[in-house]
Each structure stands twice: as structure tokens, then as C-alpha cells.
Amino acid sequence: MPARNAPEERLVNLVVALMATQQGLTKDAILASVAGYREQAEAGAKKDALEKMFERDKENLRGMGVPIETIGDRADPDDLREARYRVPSSEYELPADISFTPAELALLTMAGGVWRDGSMSDEARSGLRKIRALGNVVDEPILGFSPRINVREPAFAPLRHAVDRSQVVSFPYLKPGDTAPRTRHLHPFALVEYEARWHVFGFDTDVDAERTFLLSRIVGPVEISRRTFDSERRIGAGDRALAGLAEVAARNSALVEVVPGTEAALRLARRGTPAAPQGLRVPFVDVHVLADELASYGPEVRVVEPAQLRDEVIARLEATLALHRETAS
């Protein structure tokens, strides 16, 4: 294998070795027997350098979602000098009562490929690993291609991490109309996508109630504390969050006129209902978020009501025009 592929080959060999043992392998055993480390040792590499290589490889694999388990001394679990490492076989086995047809496996594999690793929860990664561990059993043709979902909000990854581990977080949150962000303290229960925007739902300790926050309004780093909350509180949280957002949208709607055949007509028709000639009644959760969207369509859409939404769209269009005039001058 070419030299540039040696690290990848070493990682594969390490995973295979750690999956093949029930008792676990010590670091010395890995460095002496696993291909990739053994050759380096035989070539005269120092043990300290090999140990650093192993630690780096171990963290890289964990970052890819491989669950490497560390087993310490039974008498002193915190003593890791003779620690053993393994990959639990349960992480690569589906329950005996679950089976998939080849077509179902193909679709699940495609669905798993849509998400970039940084956006997947630990549970999702585990499920995808188990499906892939079934081997190359997909023989059903799948037409088309799978897109790639990449969450752009910087807050998504740390919040997903905190949700998975039931850790308390804090972050600066800037609401429309405020001149400065306010620090919010949250027990994050779930991350949900609604109308193509990500929200975090949880218990806001500042107001002693459950709240939903738009990730795009988090304007600084998410701080993850060492404090945790009862993970049972996460059960059903995603459904509660989506139901709450849907309830808000049901109470608020905008009447807009759109130019047929345009991007605005295509996108708004997916969630709106016909209301008048060239008109749509569109439910919404946040007037500022909808104003941002409608303003991006330019002359393709005109707001009839409510007046606040119309004023917000006009303000955004005027700001864009002023910016262009300033740039041109």
C-alpha cells in the first residue's frame, strides 16, 4: 500500500484488532502486534513516539464514532497504566428481532450518508455503524443521489454534544430589537429542525420554564458546564418542541402575493394554502425570520398582511438598497 495510505491502513487494523478481543488489549500488546505499529517498532521507532501515535489514532477513531472502551484495573479503575482497550461487539450488532430487506438497507445507508458526521448524534452514529457492519448485502439498485446536510450554525455541534450527555449550557442570545445579547442558561433537551431552521429546546433556568431558541440567534460560544440534569427529561422533548412550534405557527399567518413560476411561489406554496388570486396564506412562527425570507425573494413577493411583517420586509429591502448605493458611490 502506498505510504500516504499507511495511517488509514493502521486505523483499520486497529479497529479490527480491538473488535476481535473480548478481554481487551493493552497498549504494549497493540504496539507489538497490530500492523502499522509493529513495523514502526521493528524499524527502530521509540516507544514514546509509538504511544503518542496510538493515542492520536484512538482519538481520531473516537471522533469518527468508533466506541473504543478503556478497561482499567479492577482493583483501581482509575489506574490506566495497564489499561486494556476494546471495541464492544454490541456496538456493531443489531437486535436479533430486527431485520431489513436489501431495499430497506439501501435506503438506510443512503439516509445515513446524507448527514455529515459532525451533525449526527451518538445514537445515530451507533445505528449507522450497526447497519454498515452487516456487510455488503445491498443489491437493490438505488436511482438518484444523496445530498449532503451540513449544519452551518456554529452552536449546533456543542449543543448536540450537550444534549447527548445531558449537560447544562449557557450562550449569548440576541433577540430582534435588543442592542446587546443576553446570556441564557439551559438544560438542552432536544435539537429540532422546523421550516428549514434549527432550534434548541430545553428548560430555561432563568425563567424557570421550557423554552425554544433559534440557533441562528446564538451569537457567541456555547459554554458546556460540568453540571448535568436527569436524562429522563429528554424523553419526548423533540415531539413537544415541534408541537409547540406548530401551535405558534397555527396562530400566526401572513397573506402574501407571489409571482407564479418563481422561486418564491415554489417555496412558499409548500407550506402555504391558496387564499386569493396569486395569494398564499403562510403560517409562521417568528415575524422576523419570515421577513428575512420574504425580503430575499425581492420583487417576487408582496406582503398584504400583517402590517408588522410588511414593515419589516420593507425595512430590509430599504437597508439592502442603501448598502448597494453606498457601495456604488
pLDDT of residue 288: 93
Q: What DSSP letter does each residue of 59-101 carry, written as one string? A: HHHHHTT---EEE--SS-TT--TT-EEE--GGGG---TT----
User: Looking at 12-21, 162-171, 244-253, 277-286, which range is the least confident one?
Assistant: 12-21
Domains of the chain are: 3-88 (1.10.10), 93-150 (no CATH), 156-245 (2.30.30), 252-328 (no CATH)
The pLDDT of 101-113, averaged and rounded, is: 56
pLDDT of residue 5: 41
Q: Is the pLDDT of residue 92 over 80?
A: no
Please tell me the distance from the alpha carbon of residue 166 to that of residue 251, in angstroms, as a whole number.
32
- Give residue 207's pLDDT band: very low, low, confident or very high (50, 70, 90): very high
pLDDT in tens, 217-271: 999 999 999 999 998 999 899 999 999 999 999 999 999 999 888 888 888 888 8
- Give residue 154's pLDDT band: very low, low, confident or very high (50, 70, 90): confident
pLDDT of residue 48: 85
- Give residue 309's pLDDT band: very low, low, confident or very high (50, 70, 90): very high
Between 98 and 291, whose confidence is greater? 291
Q: Is the pLDDT of residue 106 over 90?
A: no
Between 78 and 54, whose confidence is greater? 54
Q: Give the mean pLDDT of the chain.
A: 79
Q: Is the pLDDT of residue 148 over 80?
A: no
Please tell me the distance from the alpha carbon of residue 114 to that of residue 142, in angstroms, as a whole number.
14
Between 287 and 105, whose confidence is greater? 287
Residue 191's nearest CA partner among 141, 230, 242 is 242
Residue 203's nearest CA partner among 174, 232, 161 is 232
pLDDT of residue 89: 67
pLDDT of residue 121: 54
